[in-house]
Structure 1
């Protein structure tokens, strides 16, 4: 039984070691070209990370949920470097501060009734940070870039994020510091 527990611990340690940084290590503003999930490739550039304010979050529904949290905006560019990488839904950014991963905040557009029969709905956006448009990227020719932003939340007492990774499943494809 002890041998099995040690073996399980050893396998767990190796699995964690395998999750360490892989892919290129870059500075903010540098582009990584990574293979797509199914085919093709994409250029990913983390342009910068900006600190937001509590006032930014006050615009959201149930803003009290975010008390004690500071938003950080990851500004990025995706460049279509080869055809075929339009459905990569498994890659995403992760942001790290003091060795801890921050929580991504996904802000969906709001739909509100206008009362005008010619345009019955209006769409509201979180203007501080607008994500990359998937359709625009999918339809873009090779070489075209799409800008985007994603929001991460950190406790107010945390240091500013120092590392951003582009990750697919548990594999780090690129790291910006």
Structure 2
């Protein structure tokens, strides 16, 4: 299966500003409400980080390059708190284990031939973790939420991630930490 953009556009919706240099410090499950880079505001909640398995990655194209790596799924929620800004593509999550950043894995959907002329292609998806739906967020009414997920990988020897940051242009806008 090819890689797919795990919420690249929707995550970009959340260009967070106004939180100061390091932004608020929150526990998983708590919402940071911030203004967009141009207008509006959004609520961002890191709900939890889940550990995946090697079998999850074995379904990907070139799966051998992920040998010795463990996937972690950052489950998040975007809540439209006002007319949202959906143009910024520079804001994103960063995930840390033992103070070291993990690598984000962007998985694109694959198109596979079916042999059926009436429906010649099907779309393969990485169902373990799907990004937030940009259209659903854009069309959401104030107060509505859209769930999403993004994938990070760590060496098998690394500790479980304990810190998730929302950043824009190297500036931390909000930080979530796992309960100790």
TM-score by length of 1: 0.86
Asked if 2 retains the 8 angstrom alpha-carbon contact of 1:21 and 1:175, the reply is: no
SS class of match (2:120): strand
- For 2:42 and 2:84, locate their aligned partners in 1 and report how far apart those are by CA, in whole Å: 9
Matching residue of 1:86: 86
- For 2:55 and 2:21, locate their aligned partners in 1 and report how far apart those are by CA, in whole Å: 34
- For 1:117 and 1:127, locate their aligned partners in 2 and report how far apart those are by CA, in whole Å: 26
- For 2:140 and 2:35, locate their aligned partners in 1 and report how far apart those are by CA, in whole Å: 17
- For 2:130 and 2:43, locate their aligned partners in 1 and report how far apart those are by CA, in whole Å: 19
Matching residue of 2:175: 175
Matching residue of 1:103: 103
Measure how far apart 1:88 and its partner are: 2.5
Matching residue of 2:70: 70
Tell me, which stretches of 5 or more residues in structure 2 are unaligned?
1-19
Q: Which has the higher helix share?
A: 1
The higher relative CO (CA closer than 8 Å, separation ≥ 6) is in: 2
Cα displacement string for residues 13-47 of structure 1 (whole angstroms, at most 9, x for unaligned residues)? xxxxxxx9711100000000111122111100000
* Higher CA-based Rg: 1
Provide runs of 4+ in structure 1 moved above 4 Å.
Answer: none
- For 1:116 and 1:41, locate their aligned partners in 2 and report how far apart those are by CA, in whole Å: 45
Across the two proteins, how many residue pairs are aligned to each other? 158
Over the aligned positions, Cα root-mean-square deviation in angstroms equals 1.3
Tell me, which stretches of 5 or more residues in structure 1 are unaligned?
1-19
Structure 2 residue 123 is the aligned partner of structure 1 residue 123 = yes
TM-score by length of 2: 0.85
